[in-house]
Amino acid sequence: MDDIHSKFIVIDDPEDGLCLVFGRVTFHKQLLWNYEEDKQYVLGGGKWELKDGHKTLVLTDESCDFGRCEEPTIQKVLNEGSVYATYIGGRSLDITKIIFENEFKQIVIFNKN
């Protein structure tokens, strides 16, 4: 049996714009509706944890399928994009803060403008 983990990806979809999608899956690519069509739009991914009553999202690590997200991408998705949780039926969440661990293992905090 495969291990299920809390994973996220960031997608820059031509129709839906910038989106952060997270859920509990074995592979990051399982977060895409259509892997073959949509993999070209993925900007990276990693692992996630929700805190503060679903208002703060903690993002760490990197995706073995798509690599690591960059800091500017994370800040932009918080302020201009959408955040969807696949494990609760694709519902959009109103995340107000993202705590992000960058490639140097430094913690960066982004607050929604």
Can you give the pLDDT at residue 57? 93
**Residue spans of beta strands (DSSP E) within 14-106:** 17-25, 42-51, 56-60, 82-85, 91-92, 97-101
Can you give the pLDDT at residue 33? 86
CA distance 11 to 3: 24
Asked whether 29 and 37 are in contact (CB, 8 A), the reply is no
Query: Does 44 have pLDDT greater than 80?
Result: yes
pTM: 0.89
Query: Average pLDDT of the chain?
Result: 90
Going along the chain from its start, the domains and CATH numbers come out as: 5-111 (3.50.20)
Query: Does 94 have pLDDT greater than 80?
Result: yes
pLDDT digits (tens, 9 = 90+) for 2-33: 699 999 999 998 888 899 999 999 999 999 98
